[in-house]
Structure 1
Amino acid sequence: MKTTIGITEENRAAVSGQLAKLLADEFVLYTKTLNAHWNVEGKDFHSMHVFLEEQYNQLQELSDSIAERIRSLGHYAPATLKSFLELTHLTEYSERKNDSIGFITELLEDHNIIIEFIRGNITPFAEDFKDAGTSDFITGLMEGHEKMAWMLRAHLK
């Protein structure tokens, strides 16, 4: 059945394309956070293990909501590792120690990249593509990432 929600097919396709990139970023960051949760070492292991579990659970929820937003726009969400790696703005892996500082620094950089990408799409989604709903939706995602980034930064003080 055709998606008729007051946004042209061309605009829905453009927005869905940007959301697919965001979904890829979220999934890569989710995987990297899971890696940190599994592999962090040091005197703060337990607290970091628990903290990182909270973060990857939040990222899983964000990923799911983005995929559902893409579907609500009448498009299919990318769902393969290959497609995520082709679409992401993030690097899959960088050299660092398996301590909390190494992981947190890398994860914080990724959150900042995502925040900037989202911020750059808020106005175009609303004004250029006439999709205030998705603009509002990603504003909420950005706020979530800003809070997660703050939590990571607090560990580096």
Structure 2
Amino acid sequence: MSTTALKEAPAKGRDLITPHWRQHAKEIQKYGTVIRDLPIGLSEEVRTEITARLNILLADTASLRDLYKKSHWQVGGPTFYQLHLLFDKHFAEQVELVDLLAERIQILGGVSLAMAHDIAENTRLERPPRGREEVPVQISRLLEAHKIIIEDARALAKKAADLGDDGTNDLLVSNVLRTSEMQVWFISEHLVDMPLVHAK
């Protein structure tokens, strides 16, 4: 083997194992569209309508997820320990719902919202201040967010059922609604003015 060939062989080897990380290309699917021919028994029109509505619900759910984490970090006072743990539990449950909603959008052939700035642009939840708030205000803010999500999930579940989208209907009823209702129950009890030691 010539000297030139020996020098070229290691260079070719390096080329084979060098990552090609500066790549750019056009999007393979635009946001707001669905894959035209998808064999799941739902028309393109139905899937387009449902994915658009699901993306708004996804944005709200992702915002509620983050609101729970903010509350988990910033809660204070005599119920700190209980609420610190409860908010983190609810955060984890919302993480699961975000994943289920995003995957449902993809299953329907759509494109799910994913980035924080897209979530912020599309959510209907009121943005909290950056600073800390008192516990009753934190809980009230969480309950308001749940109200928006529950009302939308009920309406969308009915719409999905009317359009024959049983998968979306089941996801909304079995996961989003039941989880949200349970979380509302758990946190709303912390706003009941109940004596701790002596009955009134």
State TM-score, norm by structure 2.
Answer: 0.73
2:148 maps to what in 1? 113
1:41 maps to what in 2? 76
1:142 maps to what in 2? 177
Structure 1 gaps, min length 5? none
Q: Which letter does structure 2 place at the counterpart of 1:151?
A: F
- Report SS of the residue matched to 1:60: helix
Cα distance in 2 for partners of 1:18, 1:69 equals 12
Cα distance in 1 for partners of 2:73, 2:159 equals 38
Measured after TM superposition, the shift of residue 98 of structure 1 is 2.5
Max Rg structure:
2
Q: Which residue of the other structure, out of 50, 73, 83, is the alignment partner of 2:118?
A: 83
User: Given that residues 48 and 100 in structure 1 are in contact (C-alpha distance below 8 angstroms), is that contact kept between their aligned partners in structure 2?
Assistant: no
Q: Which letter does structure 2 place at the counterpart of 1:25?
A: D
1:61 maps to what in 2? 96
Q: Which letter does structure 2 place at the counterpart of 1:131?
A: D
1:29 maps to what in 2? 64
Cα distance in 2 for partners of 1:146, 1:74 equals 29
Cα distance in 2 for partners of 1:97, 1:38 equals 9
User: Given that residues 24 and 88 in structure 1 are in contact (C-alpha distance below 8 angstroms), is that contact kept between their aligned partners in structure 2?
Assistant: yes
Measured after TM superposition, the shift of residue 100 of structure 1 is 2.2
User: Given that residues 32 and 92 in structure 1 are in contact (C-alpha distance below 8 angstroms), is that contact kept between their aligned partners in structure 2?
Assistant: no
Cα distance in 2 for partners of 1:57, 1:102 equals 21
User: Given that residues 27 and 63 in structure 1 are in contact (C-alpha distance below 8 angstroms), is that contact kept between their aligned partners in structure 2?
Assistant: yes
Cα distance in 2 for partners of 1:61, 1:134 equals 16
Q: Which runs of 4+ in 1 moved over 3 A?
A: 94-97
Task: Report % sequence identity.
Answer: 31
Per-residue displacement from partner, 1:48-95 (whole Å, max 9, x unpaired)? 111111010010011011011111111111111221122211112159
Per-residue displacement from partner, 1:95-130 (whole Å, max 9, x unpaired)? 996332121111011101110111111211111x32
**What is the root-mean-square deviation in Å for CA atoms of aligned residues?**
1.7
Cα distance in 2 for partners of 1:43, 1:29 equals 24
Q: Which residue of the other structure, out of 19, 25, 46, is the alignment partner of 1:11?
A: 46
- Report SS of the residue matched to 1:114: helix
Q: Which letter does structure 1 place at the counterpart of 2:117?
A: K
Q: Which residue of the other structure, out of 163, 166, 175, is the alignment partner of 1:132?
A: 166
- Shift of the 96–111 alpha-carbon distance from structure 1 to 2, 3 Å rule, reads farther
Cα distance in 1 for partners of 2:54, 2:86 equals 27
User: Given that residues 60 and 149 in structure 2 are in contact (C-alpha distance below 8 angstroms), is that contact kept between their aligned partners in structure 1?
Assistant: yes
Cα distance in 2 for partners of 1:19, 1:94 equals 27
User: Given that residues 74 and 132 in structure 2 are in contact (C-alpha distance below 8 angstroms), is that contact kept between their aligned partners in structure 1?
Assistant: no
Highest relative contact order (Cα 8 Å, sep 6+), 1 or 2? 1
State TM-score, norm by structure 1.
Answer: 0.93
Q: Which residue of the other structure, out of 129, 134, 138, is the alignment partner of 1:103?
A: 138
